[in-house]
Amino acid sequence: MKVNFGGIVHISTVDWYGKVAMVIFFRGCPFRCPYCQNYALLKEENFVDAETIEAEIKKAKKFVSAVVFSGGEPLAQPEQIKRLAGFAKKLGLLVGVETNGYYPEQLKELIDARLIDRVFLDVKAPLSPEKYERVAGVSNGNVVALVKRSLEVSKNFDLEVRTTIFKGLIFNEEDIKAIAEGISSYGNIPYVLQQGRPEQGWSEELKQHNPPSREELLALGKIAKQYLKNVKVRTKEFGEESV
């Protein structure tokens, strides 16, 4: 089996807070978010044998407790992720998947098969088509329905929802209120506001803005906490903090 492979971070403490994880990146994504820091993975192909990646997972087992599949969008390669997740589980490792929510049925299949232990779901904007498609860089009309379905299939699982905050795109109180209110309809889901780093993306327009400060994120977190009990912010300077 071939994997359209993007790369590996062998040791990460920020992709799954509280765990030391290996992060495996898959190429390809249906979105074109203007702030994507992994935009180099979106178009070009790099196919490698699954056995090559499995060998890397096996070597990492001495140093990590978890494997996180990221991208790009890992669920765009469903058979590949099932194989690699199963391999990691047999080694006794925890498995997480970072997803944009575009492939809810593939996500459900992984959950039902007990091939993953945690879902990290990016909710990029308020759950209304016009706003969401502008942030995600697509215009096919069904993105919000797919993200809602992903929330539905994972709401009773170990789920963390994330929104990355960028000035000039997703920043104001109205947006955060709408996102948090939308998420709350699926239950009391842990919600994280992440500090966007515009210098790492491809949009020259967003690069004109500074990253949001810790204080600005905490203020937005207080808005979200009106709807969700477990709200955190993450910044480069201070790491993860509860609101």
Question: What tens digit of pLDDT does each residue of 162-178 get?
Answer: 999 988 887 789 999 99
pLDDT at 43: 78
Q: What is the pLDDT of residues 78-103, one digit of tens each?
A: 999 999 999 999 999 999 999 999 99
Would you state the pLDDT for residue 89? 98
CA distance 56 to 54: 5
Neighbours of 130 (CB within 10 A): 10
Domain ranges (residues) in the chain: 1-157, 161-243
H helix or E strand, kind and range, residue 85: helix 78-90
- The pLDDT tens digits for 164-216 are 998 888 778 999 999 999 999 999 999 999 998 767 766 677 777 788 999 99
d(CA 149, CA 65): 29
pLDDT > 90: what percent of the chain? Answer: 77
Domain 1-157 = CATH 3.20.20.70 = yes
User: 170: which DSSP letter?
Assistant: B
**31-47 pLDDT, tens per residue?**
988 877 777 777 789 99
The H-or-E segment that residue 54 falls in is helix 50-60
96 burial (CB, 10 Å; 0-12 / 13-18 / 19+) is buried
